[in-house]
């Protein structure tokens, strides 16, 4: 993960995670528990069926609260009870195509939800470090071939991407107007496309691959020529924990950070499907089903030199290894393995490789 950050920092730390029942949130809670943190989660019921949160069996080891981030009063109550030192904000409506269907809900959740989190942070004296997880799609996308830097213009196109741009601006305002003078370090993290075991969302390439294979069908690829920065879920989670922990100890390290893979791991969706089918075996194959639909960016890449120069961070599982680890997880799940134990082994393998 990082050559400079000691993850044993989290042992005994009180951490509050929003969106803990989602794909990234479930992996993050499992990772935090493994590091010895005292974890409180605040989120809606798990968003998919199957449900990774229950598959990973984290609920019994943490304080899990079912709540909507649009409910400020309930959130303030949870903060008052948990007294967190570190807050990691992952809760969101995260699907581009869904944002076209439900734009108002998307903005309510991603913008006013962020306002509510920041207000709860502002009123909670225990908080020292806050990280808002947004997306690589916050930038005004010019479809150019070089990576976006943290100083580039924020202006996402679709309601999801734009609401995340707004979430960034809200965070910057609260930091300048309130949180800095309260001694609370604030960062945002803009991550690329994340893959890994246990993502069961609709309209995402890897879950679509798994569902098709499980049903004995060809994989339908909607945008085979779209280029995305794919990375295993453990890569950005490690970066989030590194940023939040580092700024807890040194507020000068707070800021906006792109979190993505190297240039070689920015591949087309079709190439990802090729690698996935090869890793899966058993005659898995895909077909091009490009049928139009709402606008989605074709080319998107991040310049991650800031996080590398500040922290010495770099991803370790390149895209082929990330896909291989993802395939292994889903095959184990389809075989009926204990997925909490299997996930722990993948986390341990990742941590061991990067110590």
Q: Where are the domains of the chain?
A: 9-348
Quote the pLDDT of residue 150: 94
First to last CA, the chain: 8
Of 70, 229, 202, nearest to 139 by C-alpha is 229
3-state secondary structure of 154: strand
Gap between the Cα atoms of 257 and 186, Å rounded:
11
Determine the topology of domain 9-348 in CATH.
Answer: Rossmann fold (3.40.50)
Q: What pLDDT digit, counting tens, does each position of 288-337 carry? A: 887 656 655 566 778 999 999 999 998 889 999 999 999 999 999 999 99
Q: Rounded to the nearest 5°, which phi and psi values hold at 328?
A: -60, -40
Gap between the Cα atoms of 266 and 114, Å rounded:
29
Quote the pLDDT of residue 193: 86
Q: Is the CB of residue 274 less than 8 Å from the CB of residue 236?
A: no
The tens-digit pLDDT sequence of the chain (355 residues) is: 445 689 999 999 999 999 999 999 999 999 999 999 999 999 999 989 999 999 999 999 999 999 999 999 999 999 999 999 999 999 999 888 899 999 999 999 999 999 999 999 999 999 999 999 999 889 998 877 778 899 989 998 999 999 999 999 999 999 999 999 999 999 999 998 899 999 999 888 999 999 999 999 999 998 888 888 899 999 999 999 999 999 999 999 999 999 988 777 888 999 999 999 999 999 999 998 876 566 555 667 789 999 999 999 988 899 999 999 999 999 999 999 999 999 999 999 988 876 6
CA distances from residue 192 to 64, 189, 224, 286 in whole angstroms, order as listed:
27, 10, 17, 23
Of 15, 111, 19, 132, nearest to 66 by C-alpha is 19
Q: What pLDDT digit, counting tens, does each position of 83-119 carry? A: 999 999 999 998 888 999 999 999 999 999 999 999 9
CA distances from residue 67 to 139, 170, 260, 274, 306 in whole angstroms, order as listed:
30, 21, 30, 40, 35
Gap between the Cα atoms of 154 and 111, Å rounded:
14
3-state secondary structure of 283: coil
**Does residue 267 have a cis peptide bond before it, meaning omega lies within 30 degrees of 0?**
no
């Amino acid at each position: 993960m990082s050559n400079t950050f000691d993850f044993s920092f989290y042992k005994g730390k009180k951490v509050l995670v929003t969106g803990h029942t989602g794909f990234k949130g479930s992996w993050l809670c499992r990772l935090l528990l493994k590091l010895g943190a005292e974890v409180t989660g605040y989120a809606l019921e798990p968003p998919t069926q199957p449900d990774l949160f229950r598959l990973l069996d984290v609920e019994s080891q943490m304080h899990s609260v079912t709540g909507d981030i649009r409910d400020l009063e309930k959130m303030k109550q949870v903060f008052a009870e948990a007294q967190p030192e570190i807050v990691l904000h992952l809760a969101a409506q995260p699907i581009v195509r869904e944002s076209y269907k439900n734009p108002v809900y998307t903005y309510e959740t991603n913008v006013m939800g962020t306002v509510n989190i920041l207000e709860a942070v502002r009123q909670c004296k225990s908080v020292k470090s806050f990280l808002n997880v947004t997306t690589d799609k916050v930038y005004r996308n010019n479809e150019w071939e070089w990576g976006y830097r943290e100083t580039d213009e924020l202006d996402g196109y679709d309601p999801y991407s734009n609401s995340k741009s707004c979430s960034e601006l809200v965070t910057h305002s609260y930091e300048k107007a309130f949180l800095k003078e309260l001694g609370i370090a604030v960062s945002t993290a803009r991550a690329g496309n994340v893959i890994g075991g246990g993502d069961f969302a609709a309209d995402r390439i890897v879950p679509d691959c798994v569902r098709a294979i499980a049903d004995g069908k060809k994989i339908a690829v909607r945008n085979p020529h779209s280029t995305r920065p794919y990375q295993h879920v453990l890569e950005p989670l490690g970066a989030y924990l590194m940023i939040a922990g580092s700024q807890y100890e040194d507020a000068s390290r707070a800021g906006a950070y792109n979190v993505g893979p190297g240039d070689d791991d920015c591949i087309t969706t079709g190439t990802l499907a090729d690698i996935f089918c090869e890793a899966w075996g058993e005659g898995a194959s895909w077909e091009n089903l490009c049928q139009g639909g709402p606008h989605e960016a074709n080319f998107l890449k991040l310049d991650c030199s800031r996080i590398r120069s500040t922290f010495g961070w770099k991803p370790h599982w390149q895209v082929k290894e990330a896909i291989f680890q993802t395939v292994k997880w889903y095959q184990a799940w389809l075989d009926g393995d204990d997925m909490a134990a299997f996930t722990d082994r993948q986390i341990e393998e990742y941590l061991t490789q990067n110590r």
